[in-house]
């Protein structure tokens, strides 16, 4: 039994990597929310520094990229196999009669998120890890230690209304992807019972809404000058 040969094993991978990526979103949103202390980015920059320098976090970052790549590769395999499973299309289809558009559009939503991710990584990850921040001065002293001023970099990026629009579109795609993906992961792992299925659905809905709005509020708050 290969790790990807069976249709069900592919489902397990999709669910496991999806839930893993969800756990990352929680950490990411939590740390970014530090900007709302509105303390000139001091708390946020301290956390950013910790995440960028801590050995355990940096090791987990490798796992994160691997998980993301696995999620994407598995998703592409599912997408192409599923297309092959219906070589001749129907002349007349009415999918809206029996399913939601977002549950049928996971590959499209995932692609939109991936495009957003490339832009997002170029905006921040690439600069902090490799090329250096574009904002001047790029470092700020907190408690006598030099920190990269990621907060100032955010302010700079989100001055541009186009960037704000792109980030909002990213959050929008993420919302619908999570809205199906969260409950879907539990179903794939076999966790669906009338006792708790409605709780999982509710948790998934609340999570998708909260995480997307939280992320979306950051560029908006900076663009509108609520956070400075």
Partner 1 sequence: MSNGNMNLTLKVWRQSNSTAAGKMENYQLGGVSPDMSFLEMIDMLNEQIIRKGEDAIAFDHDCREGICGMCSMFINGEAHGPNRGVTTCQLHMRSFKDGDTIYIEPWRAEGFPVVKDLMVDRAAFDRIIQSGGFVSVNTSGRTMDANAIPIPKDDADKAFDAATCIGCGACVATCPNSSAMLFVSAKVSQFALLPQGHPERKERVLNMVKQMDEEGFGNCSNIGACEVQCPKNISIENIARMNREYLSASVKPEN
Site of interaction with partner 1 (CB under 8 A): 1, 5-12, 78, 81-82, 84-95, 97-100, 103-104, 106, 180, 183-184, 187-194, 197
Q: Report, in Å, the least distance between residue 69 CB and partner 1.
A: 19
- Determine the distance from the C-alpha atom of residue 205 to the mean position of all C-alpha atoms in its chain, rounded to a whole number: 16
- Residue 213 C-beta: closest distance to partner 1, Å: 24
Q: How far is the CB of 5 from partner 1 (least distance, A)?
A: 8
User: Would you say 49 or 183 has its CB closer to partner 1?
Assistant: 183
CA 49 to each of CA 17, 55, 135, 152, 185: distance values in angstroms, whole numbers, following the listed order: 26, 12, 16, 14, 33
In terms of CB distance, is 131 or 199 closer to partner 1?
199
Please report how close the Cβ of residue 7 comes to partner 1 at its closest, in angstroms: 5
**Distance of closest approach, residue 175 Cβ to partner 1, in angstroms:** 18
Minimum CB distance to partner 1 smaller for 83 or for 122 = 83
Please state, in angstroms and rounded to a whole number, the distance separating the CA atoms of residues 116 and 110.
10
Cα 180 from Cα 104, distance rounded (Å) = 9
Nearer CB in complex with partner 1: 100/134: 100
**Nearer to partner 1 among residue 197 and residue 220 (C-beta):** 197
Helix 150-157 to helix 42-53 angle (10° resolution) is 110
Q: Are 180 and 103 in contact (CB under 8 A)?
A: yes
């Amino acid at each position: 039994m290969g790790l990807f040969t069976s249709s069900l094993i592919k489902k397990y991978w999709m669910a496991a990597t999806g839930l893993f990526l969800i756990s990352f979103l929680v950490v990411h949103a939590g740390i970014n929310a530090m900007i709302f202390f509105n303390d000139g980015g001091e708390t946020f920059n301290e956390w950013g520094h910790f995440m960028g320098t801590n050995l355990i976090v940096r090791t987990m970052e490798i796992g994160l990229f691997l998980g993301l790549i696995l999620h994407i590769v598995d998703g592409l395999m599912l997408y192409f196999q599923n297309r092959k499973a219906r070589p001749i299309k129907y002349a007349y289809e009415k999918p809206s009669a029996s399913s939601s558009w977002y549950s049928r559009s996971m590959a499209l939503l995932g692609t939109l998120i991936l495009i957003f991710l490339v832009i997002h990584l170029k905006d921040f990850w690439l600069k902090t890890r490799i090329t250096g921040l574009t904002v001047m001065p790029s470092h700020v002293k907190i408690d006598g230690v030099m920190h990269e001023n990621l907060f100032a970099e955010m302010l700079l990026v989100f001055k541009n209304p186009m960037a704000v629009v792109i980030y909002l579109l990213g959050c929008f795609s993420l919302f619908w992807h999570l809205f199906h993906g969260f409950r879907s992961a539990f179903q794939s792992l076999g966790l669906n019972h009338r006792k708790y299925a409605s709780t999982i659905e509710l948790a998934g809905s609340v999570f998708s809404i909260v995480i997307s709005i939280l992320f979306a509020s950051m560029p908006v708050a900076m663009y509108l000058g609520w956070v400075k």
